Structure 1
Amino acid sequence: MRGESTKEVWVYIEQEDKVIHPVSFELLGRARILAEDLEGKVAGVLLGYEVLDLTSEVFAYGADKVYLVSHKALSYYRHRAYAKALSEVAKQYKPEILLLPATPHGRDLAGGVATLLETGLTADVTELSIDKTTKKLLMTRPAYGGNIMATIICPEHLPQMATVRPRIFPIPEKVEGKIGEIIEVKVELSEEEIGVERIGFIPKEKTVKIDLAEVIVAGGKGIGGKEGFSKLFELAKLLNGEVGASRLAVEAGWISYEHQVGQTGKTVRP
């Protein structure tokens, strides 16, 4: 999009089964800093069905207002439905910045929304700031396998969009009882145009949530092999933690990629 914006910094509030992903709170905290530099406001964008009760949490973690789209077609995540809803709200209210989490959900959604809005998108960002002169968003992310850090701008199109890695920014202090403005937005959606229906869900038997772990026992190539990681798993179990690994250890086949931490793996904050 081109033209004037509202100087608002938006955060897409990722929720599943009416539970908000913690990364949304992290982004609200960073959005507050960006909004202060722009002399603007922070807004959360909440999509779903019968999720009005979640707005209190969004306000408690820093939002000044919440754009709420409630529709039965948004009961669970489907790309076409969510991309249309989010892009329609953005077209109507014209944010300056739109931040989404770099989760599987957020990454899938962000590309479609950027296409519909005809704007740029910087993926897997690890630092966000406002240029003091131009007032444009500076989006920094690792490039070339993590060997350099690149800072990207989107000077001609709005909103300036980025997906942000979880656990990069701290969760701000929760302010119970904080209230704000709720703007309910109507979006026309139909099952025919969505074209996808979920008929069942089979979860993984075990998922490594290393990005949310409070305790991580990590090893690299110096561990020497799979046997070394077996000992780390024993220690992690005793500490109620997870096992992390370097890229070299993963590439050697000693442990699976879901344990990889760092610029080329998961960002952690134990």
Structure 2
Amino acid sequence: MTSLVLADHDNASLKDSTAKAVSAAHLLGGDVHVLVAGLNCVAAAEAAARIDGVAKVLHAEAPQYEHMLPEPLAALITAQAAGYDAFLAPSTASGKNVMPRVAAGLDVMQISDVMNVLSPDTFERPIYAGNVIETVRSKDGKKVMTVRTTAFPPAAAAGVAAPIETLGPVASPEISTFVSEELTKSERPELTAARIVVSGGRALQSRENFTKLIEPLAEKLHAAVGASRAAVDAGYAPNDWQVGQTGKIVAPDLYIAIGISGAIQHLAGMKDSKVIVAINKDADAPIFQVADYGLVADLYTALPELDRELAAIGK
């Protein structure tokens, strides 16, 4: 069985999610190849070649792949279909955009958000906001799936780089075009890759309180900032901070939930965290059911005290 993993990258560098998808592909057995498609993405292809267990890297350079538009990528992947038994991508915005089109092009089912590989044709995936784990067996000749990266460790670095093979671009339906993008830059780590995440909920009451209370704490802990959907919908935090079923799935070493009640949709995005700390003045808040440590207190009192303690430690 030979698998093809779609690399997650920004043309300049490879994302950690690619190495985790490679770990999932290893469980299928057989060779694992990685497809790196973009523009001026040689560095990303070379990084993919240094992932342990990767037998070969397919490197495609063309302007149509620069912004990871789903139609050109899906066409490129389906053009390689004859040589592969399985196609995998991380469950990122890009992977979830591309792989359904690949499945449709191959006329097979897609298996979404795979969190365990039981055999080459049997997989586990979460449903009902993670409250039920579904076992799926696919009889399709070719498997197409997205991988929940928080469920797999990243593959280690290899001592010897795999060979890199150049692919030419293929014709693709020109039904979408790239218009523009606005990128935010931050010194804090990326939310899905951070070891520590500090999240705020609706109890913060304003964007100003996020700036005054949550962000300074995150900076002291070298943490990423997250938010509940309620906080995002209220305009207290930007969309890319949202953690949960309709946001980002995280599994950091430490997750600090501040003023978050713990709705089922939010828990689906963070309950795999190694250690969960909750601060909420409602002793009956559902977040305390999953928290390893809970503090029943008003966040407006608790956070200044925590800030003073951290400042003292820093001295």
Scaled to the shorter chain, the TM-score interval is 0.7 to 0.9
1:77 corresponds, among 68, 72, 84, to 68
| Aligned residues of 2:75 and 2:170 also touching (Cα < 8 A) | no
Q: Deviations over 1:195-250 (max 9, x none)?
A: 444343332477993212222234679xx554896644432232221344567x65
Q: CA deviation at 1:83?
A: 1.2
1:241 corresponds, among 223, 237, 246, to 223
Structure-2 change in CA distance of 1:137 and 1:180 (3 Å):
farther
1:43 corresponds, among 33, 41, 46, to 33
**Structure 1 Cα separation of the partners of residues 27 and 58 of structure 2:** 20
In structure 2, runs of 5+ residues without a counterpart are: 254-315
Query: Considering only aligned residues, what root-mean-square deviation do their CA atoms show, in Å?
Result: 3.2
2:138 corresponds, among 142, 146, 154, to 154
- Bigger Rg, structure 1 or 2: 2
- TM-score of the pair, normalised by structure 1: 0.75
- One-letter identity of the residue aligned with 2:16: P
- One-letter identity of the residue aligned with 2:183: P
**Structure 2 Cα separation of the partners of residues 258 and 189 of structure 1:** 33
Structure-2 change in CA distance of 1:27 and 1:119 (3 Å):
same
Structure-2 change in CA distance of 1:213 and 1:34 (3 Å):
same
How many residues align? The count is 246
1:128 corresponds, among 112, 116, 126, to 116
Q: Does 1:203 align with 2:188?
A: no
Structure-2 change in CA distance of 1:158 and 1:20 (3 Å):
farther
- How many percent identity over aligned positions? 21
Give the structure 1 partner of residue 126 of structure 2: 142
- One-letter identity of the residue aligned with 1:97: A
- One-letter identity of the residue aligned with 1:202: E
| Aligned residues of 2:11 and 2:40 also touching (Cα < 8 A) | no
- One-letter identity of the residue aligned with 2:72: A
Q: Does 1:58 align with 2:43?
A: no
Give the structure 2 partner of residue 3 of structure 1: none
- One-letter identity of the residue aligned with 2:92: T
Structure-2 change in CA distance of 1:250 and 1:124 (3 Å):
farther
Structure-2 change in CA distance of 1:246 and 1:148 (3 Å):
farther
1:118 corresponds, among 104, 107, 114, to 107
| Aligned residues of 1:261 and 1:268 also touching (Cα < 8 A) | no
Give the structure 2 partner of residue 32 of structure 1: 26
**Structure 2 Cα separation of the partners of residues 73 and 260 of structure 1:** 30
- One-letter identity of the residue aligned with 1:200: S
Q: CA deviation at 1:86?
A: 1.0
Q: CA deviation at 1:122?
A: 1.8
Q: Deviations over 1:69-124 (max 9, x none)?
A: 3334323322221111111112x31x222111111111111111111011111222
Describe the SS at the equivalent of 2:150. coil
**Structure 2 Cα separation of the partners of residues 166 and 96 of structure 1:** 21
Q: Deviations over 1:129-181 (max 9, x none)?
A: 133xxx4131x2221233212122221x23212112333322222124x1334
- TM-score of the pair, normalised by structure 2: 0.66
Q: Does 1:194 align with 2:177?
A: no
Higher RCO structure, 1 or 2 (CA under 8 Å, sep 6+): 1
Give the structure 1 partner of residue 193 of structure 2: 212
- One-letter identity of the residue aligned with 2:13: V
Describe the SS at the equivalent of 1:172. coil
